[in-house]
Structure formats: structure tokens, C-alpha cells
């Protein structure tokens, strides 16, 4: 259970750094799944049931609330990591902002 909760630690609030909306339900907003780096040979573990080695998938999840997802989206920048960027046609003058993960 601890691993399950730890996996969703980023979802405590909206990923937009200027928004403080708390995460309540998946249906309220937009969920993003991101695999930060390719899985290498060093990132493998044995499964409990079969004892076979399998690749470990490192997945980060981010959530934008309904209000923010109407005018920004998330994208990955090689230098800054996950950032918010305005959606085309929304008229938003906000610049891209880095998303801070917990």
C-alpha cells in the first residue's frame, strides 16, 4: 500500500505552479503520465510470484485541474523537466513555467 501511495505523491495539487487547487477526483481535470527516462538493464527486479526478472517502469503522474486544463497543458522540456505551456488559441499570455514535483 505504501508503494501505491508513493506512486501518486505528485497528485496532491494541480501541476500548474500558480494554481493551488487540490486533487480530489480523477474526473475533475486531466491526468498526465510521463516516463522520465528509458528503462535500462540496471532498472530491473524479480517478480514475487514467478521470480523472473522484469523491467521496472518509472512513471510520474501529473494532474491539471479543470480550470487550468482549459488553457494550459503539460510538456517535457529537456532542460527544465515538466512545464506548463499555453494551449493554442486560448489567448493566454502566460509563459511556460516549470512544474515542481514533490
3-state secondary structure of 70: coil
What's residue 90's pLDDT?
77
For 8-25, write each residue's pLDDT tens digit: 455 789 999 999 999 988
- Residue 37: how many CB atoms within 10 A of its CB? 7
Domain count, the chain: 1
Domain of residue 35 covers: 2-98
- Grid cell for residue 28: 475533475
DSSP annotation of 19: -
For 30-48, write each residue's pLDDT tens digit: 999 887 665 555 556 655 6
3-state secondary structure of 68: helix
pTM (2 decimals)?
0.63
What's residue 93's pLDDT?
54
Amino acid at each position: 500500500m505504501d508503494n501505491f501511495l508513493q506512486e501518486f505523491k505528485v497528485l496532491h495539487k494541480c501541476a500548474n505552479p500558480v494554481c493551488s487547487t487540490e486533487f480530489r477526483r480523477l474526473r475533475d481535470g486531466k491526468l498526465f503520465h510521463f516516463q522520465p527516462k528509458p528503462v535500462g538493464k540496471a532498472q530491473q527486479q524479480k517478480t514475487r510470484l514467478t521470480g523472473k526478472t522484469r523491467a521496472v517502469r518509472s512513471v510520474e503522474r501529473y494532474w491539471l485541474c479543470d480550470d487550468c486544463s482549459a488553457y494550459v497543458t503539460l510538456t517535457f522540456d529537456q532542460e527544465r523537466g515538466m512545464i506548463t505551456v499555453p494551449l493554442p488559441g486560448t489567448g493566454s499570455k502566460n509563459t511556460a513555467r516549470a512544474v515542481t514535483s514533490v
